[in-house]
Amino acid sequence: MTQTPAPWGTRRMGPYAAAAAVPRYTPVLDPETQIAVIVDAYGRTVELGSHGTSTSGLTPTTTSPGDGSGPGGATDADSTESYDQDQSSD
């Protein structure tokens, strides 16, 4: 009886790297400014860095064969994705 070999990916696996504890952060609302701030386990405000805004969109395109005077043919559908991101300030 033959034995099925293990999948190639399982022969490449290794142990996970040692994990480190991640500090706990909590978003809270500043009562004066009404802006969310992040605080650590000791109540200190944590700066997470600046970030910008972005937009993305998906534009579908479709093609039809011939001029419509004859019977069908192959059709094709495709889409193009656009992504714009603002420059964030440091």
Terminal alpha carbon distance of the chain: 65
Structure tokens at 63: 């093609």
Q: The pTM is what?
A: 0.33
**pLDDT score of 48:** 76
**pLDDT score of 77:** 65
Question: Across the chain, what does the average pLDDT equal?
Answer: 75
Residue with the bigger pLDDT between 43 and 74: it is 43
- For the segment 46-71, what is each residue's pLDDT rounded down to a tens digit? 887 766 666 667 777 776 666 656 56
**pLDDT score of 2:** 85
- Is the predicted pLDDT of residue 88 greater than 60, yes or no? no
Q: pLDDT-based confidence at 87, cuts 50/70/90?
A: low
Distance set, CA 30 to CA 49, 52, 90 (Å): 18, 21, 22
**pLDDT score of 72:** 60
